[in-house]
C-alpha cells in the first residue's frame, strides 16, 4: 500500500525518480493521500492476503497515525502487517515511535542502503543529513524490542559494499537481505 508520496530521502536508485508507472501499468504515484477509511475499504478482508505491506513511492511513517489506525484495524480483522521503511521514523516524528507500533506490526524491513554514513549521504541524499545513518541504526535497535520480525536491506548497486553492510547487520543481530536493483526492468 502506498499511502504517501512524501519521503525524507532522494535516493538516486529510487524508481520514483525514473517513472510514475511501474511496468507500464501500475500507477503508484498518488494524486492525493488516501484517508484511513479509503485504505481500509480498499483492503476489504485482510485475511485474503498473506500480509499487507506499507510501502510504495513514499515513506509510510510520514503518516504514523494513519499507519497505526489502519494496522490496528487489520490486526483486529485477522491480517498481518509489514512496513517497508527508510528507518527515519524516529527522526520524522521526533520521538521513539517503535513502542507505539508494538502489537500492530508483525514485521519491518528497514532500508540500510549503505555500509556507513558517508556512503548513505552520497547515495540517499537524506533530508536529515549526517544524523540519518546513525538514526537508522538506533531505529533498528529499538525495532528489535517492539516488532517480532526485523530485517535490514540494501539495494544491490555497485556503490554499496554489501559485505560490509551485511557485517553491520550481523553485528546488530538482524537478518539481512539484498534487494535486486532492476532499473532495466522499469518500463516507462
CATH number of 15-185: 3.20.20.70
pTM above 0.85, yes or no: yes
pLDDT of residue 22: 62
Domain boundaries, the chain: 15-185
Strand 149-155, strand 176-179: pairing: parallel
Q: Which residues in the chain land under pLDDT 70?
A: 17, 19-26, 182-188
C-alpha cell at 98: 517503535
pLDDT of residue 79: 98
- Measured CA to CA, the distance from residue 140 to residue 149 in angstroms comes to 11
The tens digit of pLDDT for each residue in 131-167 reads 999 999 999 999 999 999 999 999 999 999 999 999 9
Strand 52-54, strand 21-22: pairing: unpaired
Amino acid at each position: 500500500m502506498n499511502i504517501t508520496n512524501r519521503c525524507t530521502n532522494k535516493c538516486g536508485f529510487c524508481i520514483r525518480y525514473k517513472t510514475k508507472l511501474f511496468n507500464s501499468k501500475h500507477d503508484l504515484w498518488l494524486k492525493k493521500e488516501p484517508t484511513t477509511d479509503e485504505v481500509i475499504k480498499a483492503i476489504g478482508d485482510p485475511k485474503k492476503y498473506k500480509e499487507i505491506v506499507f510501502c510504495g513511492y513514499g515513506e509510510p511513517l510520514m503518516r504514523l497515525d494513519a499507519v497505526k489506525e489502519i494496522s490496528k484495524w487489520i490486526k483486529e480483522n485477522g491480517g498481518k502487517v509489514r512496513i517497508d521503511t527508510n528507518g527515519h521514523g524516529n527522526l520524522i516524528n521526533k520521538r521513539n515511535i517503535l513502542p507505539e507500533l508494538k502489537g500492530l506490526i508483525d514485521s519491518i524491513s528497514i532500508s540500510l542502503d549503505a555500509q556507513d554514513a558517508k556512503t548513505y549521504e552520497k547515495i540517499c541524499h537524506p533530508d536529515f543529513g549526517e544524523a540519518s545513518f546513525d538514526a537508522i541504526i538506533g531505529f533498528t535497535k529499538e525495532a528489535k524490542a517492539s516488532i517480532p520480525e526485523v530485517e535490514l536491506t540494501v539495494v544491490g548497486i555497485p556503490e554499496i559494499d554489501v559485505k560490509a553492510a551485511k557485517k553491520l547487520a550481523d553485528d546488530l543481530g538482524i537478518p539481512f537481505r539484498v534487494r535486486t536493483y532492476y532499473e532495466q526492468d522499469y518500463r516507462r
